[in-house]
Amino acid sequence: MNFQDLIYAKRDGGVLTEEQIRWFINAFTKDEIPNEQAGSFLMAVYFQGLSKQELNFWTDAMIKSGEKLDLSSVGKPTVDKHSTGGVGDKISLPLCPLVASFGAAVPQLSGRGLGISGGTLDKMESISGFNISLSNEQMIKQLKDVGVFITAAGVGLAPADRKMYAFRDVICTVECIPLIASSIMSKKIAEGTQSLVLDVKAGRGAFMKDVARAKQLAETMVEIGNKAGVKTVALITQMDTPLGNAVGNALEVSESIDVLNGKGPADVIEITLALAKEMLELAGIKKDPETALKDGSALSTWKKMIAAQGGNPDAEIPVANKKEKVLAPKSGYITDLDAYAIGLSAWRLGAGRSRKEDAVSKTAGIICLAKEGDFVEKDQPVLELHIDDESRVAMAKQDLDNAFSISAEPKEKRKIVLERIS
């Protein structure tokens, strides 16, 4: 195979054959292609895209670059959820045990945060002793015993994606819908789940800034999943304003536990229940998920999951040593709370990372003491910074200069779930 022929073909808008695509994925994974040629080819894909048939071959080749987890022995309907990420998006934490409490098996393979989007694994590591590295045997056992796990994907699952994701980040081809879709769906299909619900965020604090692009990504992923035999549904949800009140690893764990206790912010509860209903329907379970938040069964499943993965479900969640409040400059209604500004400030405080190898703070972050629609008095606290490194505060506060707006009249409440794609 002459790799230059593939570059020429895609550069000029040609359609690649199945053989060419499978050869590229295999050779790329094995480091048999020079970086400059691989980068040139992926940049051509970035600009020219992939046809539906090319994308199906591409995704399947990424899946087959490694092993596929066999969940057939679990004995329960398997259903998972994936979010494209956003500011304050801790939904996997209450959602997965909630769905599992009804008898579904939820194999949640998660990742770490990068930039302003927090990572589920970083949040879970705020819990004392929690182990985010399970073997395939441990995963299957835990699905049988508890019904849910939250862990990192093993190195054997879709290794082509692991290598390509890091490579795309370096060569600035991350924002390519076919490459995003194949990245997400290759991992989810390789984990062996029977059905999947996607939470595709749209807005300032999301990867996709506008709804049209988010819808295109959602439709692409739903089609890939269904063609691969995984029943797939997507919800497009807004991410112009932070989700919930807490932004930061330990802070979001605490808020998630509040939700499992039947409390917590209304928007977090709303989207948790909306996704849970979709997951239960795909799993063939005719139950109202709200009942498990009220009777404590979701919280019980959460505690069993924590204990099964080596954590202490009754341990105190760590908190920052210092807090500093941002006050309202005048009285009025909060009419805008910018998810990007809040996320960037929390990142400056240490809640996120700029490189994959960076450490993150467990306790740093921001609490939104007031949200859009709330009335505040002059000098009332609107935001609370949680600080574990005072050298980071000055820059973090600069990002908050225009993070919220106050007006004499309230603005119409934002819709959370914008569209459903199936």
Domain ranges in the chain are 3-49, 79-154+188-308, 322-407
pLDDT of amino acid 111: 87
Determine whether 405 is an active site residue.
no
Domain 3-49 has CATH 1.20.970.10: yes
Q: Are 160 and 28 in contact (CB under 8 A)?
A: yes
Ramachandran quadrant class, 419 (left: phi over 0; alpha: psi -120 to 50; beta: rest)? beta
| Catalytic position from the list 168, 188, 204, 392 | 168
b (16+ CB within 10 A) / e for 265-281: bebbbebbbbbbbbbbb
Mean pLDDT, the chain cut into blocks of 10 residues (422 residues total): 92 96 96 94 96 96 94 97 95 98 96 83 95 95 98 90 86 90 95 97 94 97 97 98 97 98 96 98 97 95 98 96 97 97 96 81 97 98 97 96 96 94 96
Which CATH fold would you assign to the domain 79-154+188-308?
Pyrimidine Nucleoside Phosphorylase; Chain A, domain 2 (3.40.1030)
Strand pairing class (231-238; 195-202): parallel
Instruction: Please tell me the CATH code under which domain 322-407 is placed.
Output: 3.90.1170.30
Query: Which of 122, 117, 418 shows the shortest CA–CA distance to 274?
Result: 418
Determine whether 414 is an active site residue.
no
| Catalytic position from the list 10, 22, 81, 82 | 82
Specify the DSSP element, H or E, that contains 99: helix 92-100
Query: Which of 408, 390, 397, 260 shows the shortest CA–CA distance to 331?
Result: 408
- Tokens linked to 372: 């859009």
| Catalytic position from the list 187, 231, 348, 353 | 187
Please list the helix, strand and coil fractions of the chain in percent, rounded to the nearest 5, in that order. Answer: 45, 20, 40
b (16+ CB within 10 A) / e for 330-359: eebbbbbbbbbbbbbbbbbbbbbbeeeeee
3-class secondary-structure state, position 187: helix
- Tokens linked to 295: 């009777």
Determine whether 304 is an active site residue.
no
pLDDT of amino acid 174: 83
Question: Half-sphere exposure of 244 toward its Cβ, with a 13 Å CA cutoff?
Answer: 28
Determine whether 161 is an active site residue.
yes
3-class secondary-structure state, position 405: strand
Same fold, 79-154+188-308 and 322-407: no
pLDDT of amino acid 37: 95
| Catalytic position from the list 60, 161, 240, 338 | 161
Determine whether 82 is an active site residue.
yes
| Catalytic position from the list 183, 195, 256, 345 | 183
